[in-house]
Amino acid sequence: MFKKIRSILMIEFGTLLFAFSVGMFILPGRILTGGVAGITSLLSPYIPMPEDIMAIILNTALFIIGSVFLRKDFFSNTLIYSISYPFFLLFVTRFVPDMSDIDPLLASVYGGLIGGLAIGIMFRNGGSSGGTDAIALIGEKYFHIKVSHTIMFMDSMTVLAGLYIYGLNAVLIGLISVFLMTLTLNWTMNIYGGVQAKKFEIISDEYEAISEDIHNILERGSTVLDVMGGYTGNRKKMLLVIVSEDEYNKVKQIIDKHDPKAFVIISEAKDVNGEGFTYEPRM
């Protein structure tokens, strides 16, 4: 129950961030970014309608399309965003200080960074920002195309379509927003919601003593794997250990204590989920 409430609150937070990204930077700066905000900027010279209202209408239409093709999962995951986003966007555009005089380059940078972070937070908590993300999720479901790749392609096409209307400078500024949004989305998807950690692969005859100290001192588990040397054909045991960043030096000290000549591979574990990392260990 607590986990569900936390997810809902994080989706709401991501929705609010996205509304700030669009309402404070993308729309006032007329940035040719991707998604519904970019399409709105593209269509605004031809449709006599407030941009925030147009964005809400487009989001609602894409929400319906996504619900038809992706059905229950998309509907439930996007419902929170679809209800909250119009109110958040209207609040930002109506009550937050006007940012229409902001430098377009700054609007592109901050709009892209905050927008990518917002979408990533929603994705990591089981939500969706709706809009053109519905098309990306349909592509993933039916054609197995990575979501971030589809989003970047659609966003780039939206920006390039604005070349005729706004000129080359606007397109180049818009591409910066698309790139930064994709970069931040990928970073958030890889980092947020899990725990950065270190992965140790330890080949040593003293694996039992090393494993015992890791358990007793750090209260971490380890996995023992059978390995064989490709050149010698000798069979050995390898320990696989995942620890948090602040336990890195302690593991090295334990290894050096028992076997200074142990063969050790240390790598980054960018997203670790499970007992002792994303929830408390059982007592």
Domains defined along the chain, listed by start:
2-191 (no CATH), 197-269 (3.30.70.120)
Q: At what angle do helices 168-191 and 147-161 cross, to 10 degrees?
A: 170
Each residue's pLDDT tens digit in the chain (283 positions)? Answer: 677 788 888 889 999 999 999 999 988 888 888 788 888 888 888 888 888 899 899 988 888 888 888 877 677 778 888 888 888 999 998 888 877 788 999 999 999 999 989 988 887 777 777 788 788 878 888 888 877 788 778 877 887 888 878 888 988 898 898 889 888 887 787 665 555 678 899 999 999 999 999 998 888 888 999 998 887 888 999 999 998 776 888 899 999 999 999 999 998 876 666 666 554 333 3
54 contacts 40 by C-beta, under 8 angstroms: yes
Interatomic CA distance for residues 144 and 147, integer angstroms: 9
Q: Which residue has the tokens 């005729």?
A: 164
**The pTM is what?**
0.64
> Cα dihedral angle (47, 52, 55, 56), rounded to 10 degrees?
-120
Q: 3-state SS of the chain: helix, strand, coil percent to 5?
A: 65, 10, 25
